[in-house]
Structure 1
Amino acid sequence: MLISVIIPTKQRPLPLHDAVQSILRNTYQSFELIIVDQSLDDASATMLASCCLDPRLRYLRNRRPGVGAASSRNLGIAASNGEIVTMTDDDIEAPPNWLELIAAEFRADPELDFITGRLTAPPYDPATGYTPEFNAWTGMPRWRLPIHASGANFSMRRRLLDRIGGYDELCGPGSRLGAIDDTGLCWRVLRSGARYKICPHIEVIHTHGFRPHPAGQELLDRYQYGNGGAFGRLARQGDRFAGMWFLGREVKQIMRAILATIRGDRHALRHSQLRLRGFWNGFRLPPYEGFVSGRQLQQLRELALAAEIPLDSFSQPSRHQIVASQ
């Protein structure tokens, strides 16, 4: 079972190097590691020069202007060959048995299409900043999963991506709607009826994820806005349940935020405002602009293979736009 691991990156050469080294040290050997780099310089490529001698690693450039990490994730998916596609980030470290555990879950259940694992924060002082983490609670209510699950540890069968499509490129880091490109994908997984599993024993460590104040608070704010934006997009694309679920939940959140404000919490109500603003702005955007369907992912892959496009020019804007415009 070939596993394709995809890492989007931009201007993070040292964390990226640590992430790549940890994955290459995995005990499971049947994998390919695809790096999709949006950096404006060659620092990441230089840092990975020695790693590129490993035949399991492929390095691609995403040269499309004005796009974020979701675009690189889609390009990585289109360029990959594995039956299993695993998404992670450039600021994590993976334990040596990470891929072995992922493969075991999919081998054990041929009907399983999607798993999400744990994102663990190294020890830090919360008074000095913030490190994003996801504890992967197995009893989490179904519809809360997209809000909380971490896209730094997503794995799915390719057949699922062919069915539900890839990432919405108007969501996520570097996009119009900022952080959070995993919420929309995870929600579509649930809505598709695919079998999924929360796996706390499958973890990656957010080694380079710490943000000191106020950067940590700014990141949390972007998460709130981005989550709202993702649900606004889903509602505009015709998923009325997504819109109703989000707004119904938000009414409860606002009531709690008002009580928290009375008790002196200055952030709770602001977060509700950010989520609602993100929802409205996501709803206002053209519904399918930036959304890459499963068929478009297949077309992009077929185009690259047929044209024998070199890896370092695979993601040229014209190549992608040919497919996205069809």
Structure 2
Amino acid sequence: MSQSSLTFSIVIPTYNRPERLKTCLDSLRDLNYPQDRFEVIIVDDGSKNPLDTIVNSYSDRLNLTLIRQANAGPAAARNRGAEAAKAEYLAFTDDDCTLAPNWLSALENGFSEAPNALVGGKTINSLLDNPYSTASQLLIDYIYDYYNNDSHQATFFASNNFALSRDLFQKVGQFDVTFPLAAGEDREFCDRWLFSGYSLHYVPNAIIYHSHHLSLAKFWRQHFNYGCGAYYFHQLRSQRNQTSLKVEPINFYWKLLTYPLTTKHQASSKIFLCTLLFLSQVANAYGFFASKVN
């Protein structure tokens, strides 16, 4: 297959989740998009067991490349996949995501409107019976509603569902692998992208379904890590922009904590989800200030 015929290189970091990866690959196989116009690059970030058998079982339907590296985190894995990519655009997702059949077509339509933009899609929680996964996705939904209200002037996309020019990705500088935890590097990349003079374009019909299994302990750890990442992000941002720390108004946090009340969940579930969002902010603040004093 010639390099010029490829529109998308889909980059997927994976680590010790072979069953999730298989589900993700099933959805890639079912995309409503010409199979000779995209490639899939899987970066095994040091999984315990080799993934060759799983990946090879899809080689008759997908143009697949499997890269194995020592464990270095998802940011490094995404960068490694991008370096091996051949297509015009990079599309990033994760191994615990399944893609709607029109995912690539929707991203392509986004680029037809804004060729040099960072194009991001919508993520939907597929674990409806898991309140911790639901609350975590509600937080992202709220942030998207708040920061991406104007689809042509968005400011943040999560790295499990965005795409951009391969050349511009290298020009802006890839994901920052110096973050102490796997949290916040996508936020930093979006900010650096904007600082470099490019735009973010929100395409809500580019849908993925996220299956991130969380318990109470994992939920706390996730948002503690987000707080640690937020501290490091603000350190980098202040150096780049020479600006002081920006704190959102109280109204932002009030609307965040009451955001579940605007959803279609049952009344008892809404109260519990509000409580979890409050807990997420406590964990986030704890992680932020723990990083600050270290």
Report whether the alignment pairs 1:159 with 2:159: no
Offset at residue 140 of structure 1 (A): 5.8
Which secondary structure does the structure 2 equivalent of 1:169 belong to?
A: coil
Counterpart of 1:232 in structure 2 is 235
Which secondary structure does the structure 2 equivalent of 1:151 belong to?
A: coil
Mapping 1:170-319, distance limit 5 Å:
170-171=178-179, 176-206=180-210, 208-236=211-239, 238-241=240-243, 244=244, 247-249=245-247, 252=249, 268-278=281-291
Mapping 1:112-191, distance limit 5 Å:
112-122=116-126, 124-125=128-129, 128-131=131-134, 132-133=136-137, 134-135=140-141, 136-137=144-145, 138-139=148-149, 145-146=155-156, 149-171=157-179, 176-191=180-195
Q: For 1:163 and 1:99, how far apart are their aligned partners in 2?
A: 23
Gaps of 5+ in 1: 282-326
**Range moving further from structure 2, 184-193 or 117-126:** 117-126
Q: For 1:266 and 1:73, how far apart are their aligned partners in 2?
A: 30
Report whether the alignment pairs 1:38 with 2:40: no
> Once superposed, what is the RMSD of the aligned Cα atoms?
3.0
Which of 74, 84, 87 aligns to 2:89? It is: 84
2:288 partner letter: R
Would the alpha carbon gap of residues 239 and 164 (structure 1) be closer, same or farther in structure 2, given more than 3 Å must change? same
Equivalent pairs, count: 259
Report whether the alignment pairs 1:56 with 2:66: no
Offset at residue 114 of structure 1 (A): 1.1
Would the alpha carbon gap of residues 109 and 70 (structure 1) be closer, same or farther in structure 2, given more than 3 Å must change? closer
Report whether the alignment pairs 1:26 with 2:24: no
Would the alpha carbon gap of residues 222 and 150 (structure 1) be closer, same or farther in structure 2, given more than 3 Å must change? same
Counterpart of 2:8 in structure 1 is 3
Q: For 1:18 and 1:268, how far apart are their aligned partners in 2?
A: 32
Q: For 2:152 and 2:31, how far apart are their aligned partners in 1?
A: 31
Would the alpha carbon gap of residues 142 and 2 (structure 1) be closer, same or farther in structure 2, given more than 3 Å must change? closer
Q: For 1:273 and 1:82, how far apart are their aligned partners in 2?
A: 41
Which secondary structure does the structure 2 equivalent of 1:72 belong to?
A: helix
Offset at residue 93 of structure 1 (A): 0.2
Gaps of 5+ in 2: 1-5, 258-274
Would the alpha carbon gap of residues 275 and 104 (structure 1) be closer, same or farther in structure 2, given more than 3 Å must change? same
1:249 partner letter: V
Which secondary structure does the structure 2 equivalent of 1:34 belong to?
A: strand
- The answer as to whether partners of 2:127 and 2:213 remain within 8 angstroms in 1 is no
Q: Deviations over 1:242-294 (max 9, x none)?
A: xx2xx2316x56x979xx9xxx966645532422444676xxxxxxxxxxxxx
1:6 partner letter: V
Q: TM-score, normalised by structure 1?
A: 0.70
